[in-house]
């Protein structure tokens, strides 16, 4: 079997938008965690050249054309920066919903870069590998380390944090939502500032006082987001219900795994057409 890496879903516990930079990117301050029970899988068969040999899994049809796949974009970005890099054929299994606010493509890219690091005896924090991650996409640097962190700037600032494991339920209506459309809904002009970047501690009580600034424009674009948040918020034992990233995935935090699993079972009855997963966030 070729070497493989799990690519866990990214969950934005908080997401403060501080403004829009002159280059058009939005300035963010976000606490990010990763889901233990929701992940794609990326494998790399060493060999000549570079290819995405196969894409399978329940969300493979939505993964898009190979030319746009972040796995290949990340590998090319690494090869441009590291001379003589060994690559090969990637195999991607898509289990995370696409365009869901869970950073599935970025998680895949992070996993691909970790596989490249293993194949080439590089440290995951090698500066050129980190640079390749940032060049691939805003969420890729945090997905490269794939652990709880504070993400700042447009995503290039990544500082790991100590996060107690959080029991959660993830829910997605299986409808894609454009990240660009959601950010556009904020209506910020280049150079415009807004809000603050005060990120609280990583306990549930502290997270309650924070927010996701993309939630209001995302709700305006898709009613299902409000439906999901309301359903999770009404679940027995739910301490906090919020949207992840730019949506449409929402999550609820619970006191323990048992409460999260019980809530997930009840939520599947209430929202039978949704993708719903209980998971620990770390």
Active site residues: 10, 139
**Can you tell me whether residue 114 is helix, strand or coil?**
helix
Q: What are the DSSP calls for 237-262, one per residue?
A: T--EEEE-TTSS-EEEEESSHHHHHH
Phi-psi region of 69 (alpha: psi -120 to 50; beta: other; left: phi over 0): beta
* CA dihedral (161, 12, 8, 135) positive or negative: negative
**Cα(274)–Cα(150) distance, integer angstroms:** 29
| b (16+ CB within 10 A) / e for 243-276 | bbbbbbbbbbbbeeeebbebbbebbeeebeebbb
**Cα(70)–Cα(111) distance, integer angstroms:** 10
- Contacts of 226 by beta carbon, 8 Å cutoff, 6+ apart: 219
**Cα(94)–Cα(212) distance, integer angstroms:** 26
* CA dihedral (112, 113, 117, 119) positive or negative: positive
What's the token pair of residue 281? Answer: 């966030």
């Amino acid at each position: 079997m070729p070497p493989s890496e799990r690519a866990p879903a990214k969950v934005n516990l908080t997401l403060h938008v501080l403004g829009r930079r002159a280059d058009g990117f939005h300035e963010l301050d976000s606490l990010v965690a990763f889901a233990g029970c929701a992940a794609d899988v990326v494998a790399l068969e060493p060999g000549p050249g570079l290819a995405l040999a196969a894409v399978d899994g329940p969300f493979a049809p939505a993964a898009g054309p190979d030319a746009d796949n972040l796995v290949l974009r990340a590998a090319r970005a690494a090869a441009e920066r590291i001379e003589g890099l060994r690559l090969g054929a990637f195999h991607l299994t898509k289990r995370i919903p696409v365009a869901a606010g869970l950073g599935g493509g970025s998680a895949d890219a992070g996993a691909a870069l970790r596989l490249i690091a293993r194949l080439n005896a590089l440290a995951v924090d090698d500066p050129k590998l980190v640079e390749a991650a940032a060049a691939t996409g805003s969420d890729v640097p945090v997905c490269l380390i794939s652990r709880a962190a504070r993400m700042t700037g447009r995503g290039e600032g990544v500082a790991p944090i100590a996060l107690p494991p959080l029991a959660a339920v993830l829910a997605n209506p299986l409808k894609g939502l454009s990240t660009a459309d959601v950010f556009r809904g904020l209506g910020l002009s280049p150079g415009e500032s807004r809000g603050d970047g005060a990120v609280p501690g990583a306990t549930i009580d502290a997270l309650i006082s924070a927010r996701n600034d993309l939630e209001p424009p995302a709700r305006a674009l898709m009613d299902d987001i409000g439906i999901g948040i309301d359903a999770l918020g009404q679940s027995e034992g739910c301490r906090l219900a919020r949207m992840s990233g730019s949506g449409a995935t929402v999550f609820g935090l619970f006191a323990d795994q048992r409460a999260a699993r019980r809530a997930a079972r009840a939520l599947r009855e209430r929202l039978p057409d949704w993708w719903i997963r209980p998971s620990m966030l770390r």
